[in-house]
Chains A and B, each alone.
Chain A
């Protein structure tokens, strides 16, 4: 069964890029795309996704804050994306979730294949 994935990203260019990159991912279906974390939180119960690609820098609630708020969905895998990966190398706020550089196709595909 295909895994359901949501994208929370405010820059449309990156939505396009993720979509394109995800075409090479096996059994992944993009269930929804959100421009901000608040919208995603609202829809989360109905959607019940398996994976989420979350931009760390979002307007309003940040990607990190989003991760804190979704404790009710512990089974959802979160993949953080950022332009400044090095700033989060030893960051405790990421709660153990993977932090990828934006545009890193290889990293994205490899973490999804697990």
Chain B
């Protein structure tokens, strides 16, 4: 029988069916084998009506010899790629088709040999065991025999084995083995990957689930899903998505399903409030992937995360942010009040102090000769101290005014401002011998008035504290650090001890005595305030006797000119 174009006689209906031998069903194969059996047995009888099958007149067929029939049969058997064989009840081969001979026997003698001669021990034992089942039961069986050949190559045989007794009562086992190796290997690979996938899903850290939309129930849930929800697998598979969502989330979910059904594209990850077993509500991040069948949603699968902790953390963060914001607002308000207070005090102290000064002057100038000499000293001290007080109040006012001042931010040239300041200092002290270096074209954004005040103080300080140094020198410049500009004023004057650096910018804290250098100590506090209004920082480095360098940054941009 040839593989393709082979003809199978259906005993019941005598209809010719063209089939591929490889895809024969069990029943068909059984019939074939029975038919072959018949052929072998009834070589002389004419029970088969060939007229119906081949259209050859019966008369001529009757005259066919046994030999002709056997030739036909042999041709059919030998063109079959499957293994067809016959063994006696002791496992000895009495027939092998050509495919068997070609693949597994070669040129060896085969008649009377057993499986042990053609196959490795284990495979032979397997075959023989199956043969015995057939002999013992007297029935045809289908086996899947997983074997290896002598070279170790794997062969999976889909084997139909049947028992058969000849006219002399001798028992045989016949069989047809179809090579199903590729299919088996593919199935095994599929099974393995299914296993891998199943394990992945089962042990995934996130909940994985599938909902069937006909029954509206969970049809698949992994361990994590059960854990998150607090149900056993069994319990969960009896529930629907609605059962595990709270009222509001239920509405949201059902609405989303409706929209999706209508064809709308939705984002995938949605936060729902989920009810665990026992009623505890947690926050779940669920996503859904719908599966469509015939235009309707058939199922949805997705991943679920318990984000309760995250949500709680977010809430806590929001609360603490709120708290900090309130605190910051309160602080700002308190600061403003303090500033206002300090301003009004300084403001109101001015007048009485001015009166004090004026009255003392009157006493000294107009009544000097009428006073006893020792009173002159007392008066002088009164005047000096009230002068000092005036200065302090004036300084406090100046400092307070810096903060209150509205800024007019635009592009300014620091180089130009420094030049102006230096000129002012020269005008006040034309005889001063000092070397001043000013870097050119240094521009930035800021309020020119305030920056003038700041630089006036910084350069003024450098000027003042280097007045006792021969070859005094002042430098204004800029350097870059990580792309950001840092401006500096450097002198080679008296310098200061870095131990007190943190006091430098506090109002009225002086590091030199009035005898050495005059001043109230408000200058640097004013500078610091100006710098801070420009969102910058200021710091200093120094060594006593070696001069000092004051560094500062300014961080305003064109955008800030609208906001301040």
Interface residues, chain A, CB within 8 Å of chain B?
11, 13-14, 17, 20-21, 23, 83-84, 101-103, 105
Q: Tell me the complex Cα distance, A69–B350, Å.
A: 29
How far does the alpha carbon of A20 sit from the alpha carbon of B367 in the complex, in Å?
Answer: 11
Size of B's binding interface in residues, CB under 8 A: 11
In the complex, how many angstroms separate the beta carbon of B473 from the nearest chain A beta carbon?
34
Q: Residue B101 at the A interface, CB < 8 A?
A: no
Q: Which residues of B contact A (CB under 8 A)?
A: 347, 350-351, 354-355, 357-359, 361-362, 366
Contact A11 B351 (CB under 8 A): yes
Taking a contact as CB atoms under 8 Å apart, the answer to whether A17 and B366 are in contact is no
The answer on a CB contact under 8 Å between A17 and B351 is no
Q: In the complex, what residues of A have CB within 8 A of residue B357's CB?
A: 103
Residues from chain A with a CB closer than 8 A to the CB of B359 are 13, 17
| Cα-based distance from A76 to B440 in the complex (angstroms) | 52
Q: Quick check: B354 and A102 within 8 Å, CB to CB?
A: yes
Kindly provide the distance from the CB of A84 to the nearest chain B CB, expressed in whole angstroms: 7
Say whether A103 contacts B366, CB under 8 Å: no
Complex Cα–Cα for A102 and B354 (A): 7
In the complex, A26→B461 CA distance in Å?
A: 43
Name the 5 nearest CB pairs between A and B, nearest first: A103-B358, A83-B351, A83-B350, A103-B354, A17-B358
Which one of A11, A83, A101, A102 has the highest number of Cβ atoms from chain B below 10 Å of its Cβ?
A83
CA distance A20 to B363 in the complex (A): 10
Interface residues of B, dominant DSSP: helix
User: How far is it, in angstroms, between the C-alpha of A62 and the C-alpha of B370 when the chains are bound?
Assistant: 39
Whether A101 pairs with B354 at a CB distance below 8 angstroms is yes
Is there contact, CB below 8 Å, between B362 and A20?
yes
Given known contacts A17-B359, A17-B362, A105-B361, is B354 in contact with A84 (CB within 8 Å)? no
Residues in chain B near residue A101, CB distance under 8 A: 354
Q: What separation, in Å, do the CA atoms of A17 and B359 have in the docked complex? A: 7
- Complex contacts, B362 vs chain A, CB 8 Å: 17, 20-21
Contact B350 A84 (CB under 8 A): yes
Residue of A nearest to B351 (CB): A83
State in angstroms the CA–CA spacing of A101 and B359 once bound together: 15
Q: A13-B355, A102-B354 are in contact. List 11 more A-B contacts (CB 8 A).
A: A11-B351, A20-B362, A21-B358, A21-B362, A83-B351, A84-B347, A102-B355, A102-B358, A103-B354, A103-B358, A105-B358
Residues on the B chain within 8 Å of A11, using CB: 351, 355
A21, B355: Cα distance in complex, Å? 12
Inside 8 A of B361's CB, which chain A residues have their CB?
103, 105
Given A17-B362, A20-B362, A20-B366, residue A103 in contact with residue B355 (CB < 8 A): yes
Query: Could you tell me if B347 and A14 are in contact, using CB atoms closer than 8 angstroms?
Result: no
Chain A residues, Cβ within 8 Å of B350? 83-84
Q: How far is the CB of A45 from chain B (nearest CB, A)?
A: 32
Q: Is A17 within 8 A of B347, CB to CB? A: no
What residues on B are CB-neighbors of A17 within 8 Å?
Answer: 355, 358-359, 362
- A111 to B: closest C-beta gap in Å: 17
Query: How many Å lie between the Cα of A111 and that of B366 in the bound state?
Result: 21
**Complex Cα–Cα for A84 and B351 (A):** 9
- Report how far A101 CA is from B358 CA in the complex, Å: 11
Residue contact B366 to A102, C-beta cutoff 8 Å: no
**Cα distance A23–B361 in the bound complex, in angstroms:** 14
CB neighbours (8 Å) of A14 from chain B are: 355
* A102 to B356 CA separation, bound complex (whole angstroms): 11
- B359's nearest neighbour on chain A, judged by CB, is A17
B317 CB to nearest chain A CB (Å): 47
Residue numbers in B under 8 Å from A102 (CB-CB): 351, 354-355, 358
CA distance A62 to B355 in the complex (A): 21
Cα(A105)–Cα(B357), bound, Å? 11
Q: List 8 A-B contacts (CB under 8 A).
A: A11-B351, A13-B355, A17-B359, A83-B351, A83-B354, A84-B350, A103-B355, A103-B361
Q: How far is the CA of A17 from the CA of B366 in the complex (A)?
A: 12
* Minimal beta-carbon separation of A17 from chain B (angstroms): 5
Residue of A nearest to B355 (CB): A13
Return A25 CB to nearest CB of chain B, in Å. 14
Chain B: minimal CB distance from A61 (Å)? 20
* Distance, CA A62 to CA B541, complexed state (A): 51
Chain B neighbourhood of A103, CB < 8 A: 354-355, 357-358, 361
B450 smallest CB distance to A (angstroms): 15
Closest CB in chain B relative to A13 CB, distance in Å: 5
> Smallest CB-CB separation from B352: which chain A residue?
A13
When distances are taken between beta carbons in the complex, the residues of chain B under 8 Å from A21 are 358, 362
A101 to B350, CA, bound (A): 11
B residues within 8 A CB of A23?
366
Which residues on the A side are within 8 Å of B355 (C-beta)?
11, 13-14, 17, 102-103
With A and B bound together, what is the CA distance between A105 and B359 in angstroms? 11
Q: How far, in Å, is A85 (CB) from chain B's closest CB?
A: 10
Q: Enumerate chain B residues within 8 angstroms of A84, measured Cβ to Cβ.
A: 347, 350
A60–B144 Cα distance when bound, in Å, is 118
Q: Which residues of A contact B366 (CB under 8 A)?
A: 20, 23
- Alpha-carbon separation in the docked complex, A43 to B288 (Å): 93
Docked pose: A20 CA to B350 CA in angstroms: 20
Min CB–CB distance B453 → chain A (angstroms):
12
Cα of A103 to Cα of B357 in the assembled complex, Å: 8
Q: How far is the CA of A91 from the CA of B366 in the complex (A)?
A: 35
